[in-house]
Amino acid sequence: MELTLDGDVVRAGYEARERFYDSRGYGKVRNGDIDLSPVEAAHLLYRGDIESIDGMDFRAFLGSAAVSEVDFAVYKDLRDRGFYLTPAREGWVDDAAGADFVVYPRGKGPWDNEVAYRVRVIGERDTVDATALGGCVLAVVDEESEVTYLDTDRREVSGTSDAAVPATAGELLGERVVCWEPPAELYDQAFYGQQLGDDGAVQLSLVEAAYLAQEGLLTVDGGADAVVGRGREVEGDRFDRRLAVYTALRASGVAPKTGFKFGADFRTYADVESAENLGHSELLVRVLPADHRFEPRDLALDVRLAHGVRKTMVFALTADGGDGSGDSGNGNDLEWIAVERLTP
Amino acid sequence: MELTLDGDVVRAGYEARERFYDSRGYGKVRNGDIDLSPVEAAHLLYRGDIESIDGMDFRAFLGSAAVSEVDFAVYKDLRDRGFYLTPAREGWVDDAAGADFVVYPRGKGPWDNEVAYRVRVIGERDTVDATALGGCVLAVVDEESEVTYLDTDRREVSGTSDAAVPATAGELLGERVVCWEPPAELYDQAFYGQQLGDDGAVQLSLVEAAYLAQEGLLTVDGGADAVVGRGREVEGDRFDRRLAVYTALRASGVAPKTGFKFGADFRTYADVESAENLGHSELLVRVLPADHRFEPRDLALDVRLAHGVRKTMVFALTADGGDGSGDSGNGNDLEWIAVERLTP
């Protein structure tokens, strides 16, 4: 079969429609005939189902400007995995925005009105807006043309870690606050800080101390402002973003602790009853300004690490860039995006 | 016991020398008496072995400018782990440069002339020069005052992956080169590229293709320059650095493949006999300009991930920043620094 490229569509007739759409889910029906996108036509060429397009064989067509190699790599990979899928073009699928392919559940096709994944294709060297994530699967084509799938999802964070803590006093020492005689609940039940030794003293991180001081649970020379000021000195704007996220996590009943060993801002415990019986931490949280653009490689690194330690990677996007204007911390201006590896 | 701070040294007499140096390895002997560094004196205060320094108790002394909380956290942690250690001051230890503490093997002390670790202390928010790594243990104190130890070591890379490959032709397509009819050795024995399908075609990454073209093993329109040019278009200077490292790895008998899934530049196979029987890849390589400054958190992330997948993280520093001046690639201007987690 020899077909013709018309703009960005390969036109084919009734016979092609029967062979390619009706039985295998390629293309878009138009007036009883079929339109194929170039990537679909390339796949049919690759399989030998059609011989040429405008005289071009697979090799020539893939080398032409009509087909993106990156799209082809993902299209082929998903077909190899047994899926039918449709290019997310306006008029071809519902809600085309933000996706490159709409993938149907295995055994289903474009005629079934069920969607398994909305896939967005990027090359390893492209960047992707943080706000574009959520509700789609990123298919990242690496330099060797292998595809890594990352499922992205907007989500809520919640837990039952909400032990009450009596107020206490602390002393700001460099980049930490030491509570020399804290109530036992501070560390034992609510899991703030670390024990300095055996005598009960607890050292708080600056973000923990700033939160407790803002909540009226910690008195320190200069008040919360002194702690926040020290935080900004050593971390800049990032401190405000981290404090906003820390506050939102605590407000959601989740106990955040440093994620340093995992290269993250926080790890979180949803159901702390005591510091002695912590259980497993569920999330790794990385705090980012909402205008962040991800390098796919950094995403792959974070998500792979989280998977390896049986946690879920969550990116906390602070909408206002964490300007410390005072309304941060209510969590309303935060977005949580969970990203996990997916094997379709 | 009440001692006195004299500049940056706490002076003590013969009795203190017997109690603290002779039996427990604190301080530096001077004329039969003993000098203690402030961090050592703080630890003795913390333990209750001395009562005060210039009238200050532990709490006051730790809060004074004399003691770094970060140094104290590491000093205490190593003492808690059963080590004797000496501040790396000029005149106190041999080769003080580049270290903060010299740590003796367990059961040994400053009188034994044996060193287990040379430790460099940094806070989570400090950065560290890439060239300062190698031959020391980084002790990173995180915001919650927990200590993570990272052993850094200059090393060589070598292997036996050196299968010969007949020359072949390729076609530059976007960010890859496709060899439509390659010799079987290209992929099967030497493990270049990925198979495009079942018909034998192999797609090479730009860095693989540039290397093969420079070695005279790949002909492509425009030659090696066309491939390198495409690489620079999509990666900038980073492409030259990666090509220099790729070339040095191949020259060392190691087969590099993309490290994308691990967030690295390459993973490497030291002893490839065939693509079918690859075995485990040993190293993750991240390519960096030699003037790179590490954020400790990024280091922790890379090293933790590598550990989780049973690989060693190696940073390849390109001395000239990879300017593509033509002498890159002989490996002489590269430094390899392996970083691994350490539990002292």
How far apart are the C-alpha atoms of B25 and B232, rounded to whole Å?
56
| pLDDT at A118 (0 to 100) | 97
What fold characterizes domain A1-67?
Answer: MutS, DNA mismatch repair protein, domain I (3.40.1170)
Q: Residues of chain A with pLDDT > 70: what percent?
A: 96
- Tens digit of pLDDT for each residue in B237-249? 999 999 999 999 9
pLDDT score, position A199: 83
Q: Where in chain A is the domain with CATH 3.40.1350.10?
A: 68-154, 168-342
Range with lowest mean pLDDT among A194-198, B142-146, B165-169: A194-198
Section B39-65 average pLDDT: 95
Q: Would you say domain B168-342 falls under CATH 3.40.190.10?
A: no
Query: Max Cα separation, chain A?
Result: 84
Give contacts of A298 with chain B, Cβ < 8 Å: 263
Buried b (16+ CB within 10 A) or exposed e, B165-191: beebebbbbbbbbbbbebbebbbbbbb
What value does the mean pLDDT of chain A take?
93
In 3D space, the residue among B330, B313, B17 whose CA is nearest the CA of residue B152 turns out to be: B313
For residue A344, the model assigns a pLDDT of 94
Average confidence (pLDDT) over A238-265 = 97
Residues spanned by CATH 3.40.1350.150 within chain B? 68-154
CB atoms B205 and A144 under 8 Å: yes
**Checking phi first, is residue B25 left (phi over 0); if not, alpha (psi -120 to 50) or beta?**
left
pLDDT attached to residue A340: 97
Which H helix or E strand runs over B97?
none
Query: What ipTM, to 2 d.p.?
Result: 0.92
Q: How many CB atoms lie within 10 A of CB B143?
A: 24
Of B234, B300, B304, the CB nearest to A125: B234
- CB-based contacts of A300, cutoff 8 Å, min separation 6: A140, A148, A150, B260, B261, B262, B263
Q: How far is B31 from chain A (nearest CA, A)?
A: 34
Catalytic residue among B46, B192, B211, B269: B269
Kindly report, as residue ranges, where domains of CATH 3.40.1350.10 are found in chain B.
168-342
Of A62, A175, A297, the CB nearest to B173: A62
| Span A135-159, average pLDDT | 96
- DSSP assignment string, B128-189: EEGGG-SSEEEEEE-TTS-EEEEEEEE-------------EE-EEETTEEEESS--HHHHHT
Tell me which residue of A198, A210, A289, A300 sits closest to A246, measured CA to CA: A210
The answer on pLDDT for B325 being more than 60 is no
Give residue B85's pLDDT band: very low, low, confident or very high (50, 70, 90): very high
CB distance A159 to A271 below 8 Å: yes
User: pLDDT for A209-225, tens place per residue?
Assistant: 999 999 999 999 999 99
pLDDT score for A331: 53
Confidence band for A306, pLDDT divided at 50, 70 and 90: very high
Q: Mark yes or no for CB contact A262/B300 under 8 Å.
A: yes
pLDDT of residue B323: 46
Q: Which of B63, B125, B305 is nearest residue A305 as measured by Cβ atoms?
A: B305
Q: What is the model's pLDDT at position A324?
A: 45
**pLDDT tens digits, A16-25:** 999 999 999 9
Q: Span B133-147, mean pLDDT?
A: 96
Convert the pLDDT of each residue in B106-119 to its tens digit.
999 999 989 999 99
A325 pLDDT higher than 70: no
- For residue A326, pLDDT beyond 70: no
Average pLDDT on A188-201 reads 91
Residue B89: band (very low, low, confident or very high) from pLDDT cuts 50, 70, 90: very high
Taking CB atoms and an 8 Å cut-off, how many pairs form between chains A and B?
143
Q: What is the pLDDT of residue A85?
A: 98
In A, minimum Cα distance to B297 occurs at A263
- Closest Cα in chain A to B71: A174
Rounded to whole angstroms, the Cα distance separating B132 from B178 reads: 41
Report whether pLDDT(A79) > 70. yes
Domain with CATH 3.40.1170.20 in chain A: 1-67
Asked if residues B17 and B36 have their Cβ atoms less than 8 Å apart, the reply is no
Q: Rounded distance, CA A75 to CA B148, Å?
A: 44
Most B CBs within 10 Å, among A147, A181, A233, A305, to test the B interface:
A305
Instruction: Classify B46 in phi/psi space as left (phi over 0), alpha (psi -120 to 50) or beta.
Output: alpha
Average pLDDT over chain B, rounded to whole? 93
Residue A254: pLDDT above 50?
Answer: yes
Q: Is B235 left (phi over 0), alpha (psi -120 to 50) or beta?
A: alpha
Query: Topology of A68-154 in CATH?
Result: Trna Endonuclease; Chain: A, domain 1 (3.40.1350)
Mean pLDDT of B203-212: 98
Per residue in A120-129, pLDDT (tens digit) is 999 999 999 9
Taking the C-alpha atoms of residue B255 and residue B268, their distance in angstroms, rounded to an integer, is: 5
